[in-house]
Amino acid sequence: MRPSGRQLNEMRPVSIETGFTKHAEGSCLIKVGDTHVLCTATIEDRVPPFIKGTGLGWVTAEYGMLPRATNTRMRREASSGKQGGRTVEIQRLIGRALRAGVDRVALGERQITVDCDVLQADGGTRCASITGGWVALRLAVNKLMKAGDVHIDPLLDPVSAVSCGIYAGQPVLDLDYPEDSEAGVDGNFIMTGSGKLIEVQMSAEGSVFSRDQMNELMDLAAKGAVELAEMQKAASK
């Protein structure tokens, strides 16, 4: 019934190739089906002004799409002179999500910037960015710990994200683009490896939904979160 032939509660194949670029302190190319995102983590000693001198660390994120990551070419944001509303919204979400999984005292007064650049898009780019972004973050933190710059692990539990929605009247896990563009209701669920919630965003443009539907989607998301956490751990060992 799903265009891809997947089961209702079946995710797309996921692969995470670490060390995709040589300069970043942590990097991976995450593929969730045909959605491919290059995630890099950069460690810097400077922190934003509002936490200077507090001893706390900071994690932030930026998001971008290559102009032809999509079916028709989108205008390059660098050339149009500003990041669009969607981009701003997504990168703020990624940053909040990753920070929720960080012990900022243990990280110490430094900043890690996670860049998520979509090379190819097929639905769920923000979720792939969070899942892959955490792996890049994990690798960068590993480097800090190996170097003795950080002593207590500031990352306790993986942070991942998955989308769910009502497609053709059925709750489905991990929407691809054909599903996403049809679904009346969908949501992004950001969770920890141990099943705690970090952020839930459900939305129904031009429609409404019930609490029962919401609960069905949350059940699917919980299943996805467990699977993603396993892959994140395996990739970033």
Q: What are the residues binding its own copies (CB under 8 A)?
A: 20-24, 27, 34, 36, 38, 40, 42, 44, 62, 64, 66-71, 73, 76-79, 81-83, 85-89, 91-92, 96, 99-100, 102, 104, 113, 115, 117, 119-121, 187, 192, 196-211, 214, 218
Burial 11-27 (b: 16+ CB within 10 A, else e): bbebebebebeeebbbb
68 labelled ligand-binding: no
Backbone angles phi, psi at 110, to 5 degrees: -150, 165
25: region left, alpha or beta (phi > 0 left; psi from -120 to 50 alpha): alpha
C-alpha–C-alpha distance, residues 49 and 1, integer Å: 52
Closest-CA residue to 94 (of 59, 142, 143) = 59
Pick the closer one to its own copies by CB: 9 or 192.
192
CB of 97 to its own copies, least distance (A): 9
Is residue 138 a known part of a binding site?
A: no
28 is written with which tokens?
Answer: 């991976």
User: Closer CB to its own copies, residue 7 or residue 77?
Assistant: 77
Which CB sits closer to its own copies, 29 or 172?
A: 29
Rounded Cα gap, residues 23 and 83, in angstroms: 25
Quote the CA–CA distance of 39 and 17 in Å, as a whole number: 10
Q: Tell me how far, at minimum, the Cβ of 150 lies from its own copies, in Å.
A: 18
165 is in an annotated binding site: no
- ∠ Cα 128 175 36 (to 5°): 35
154/236 with CB nearer its own copies:
154
Toward its own copies, which CB reaches closer, 18 or 40? 40
Q: Which of 36, 13, 2 is nearest to 125 (CA)?
A: 36
Q: 104 a known binding residue?
A: no
One-letter amino acid at 133 equals: G
Binding residues for phosphate, as ranges, are 86, 124-126
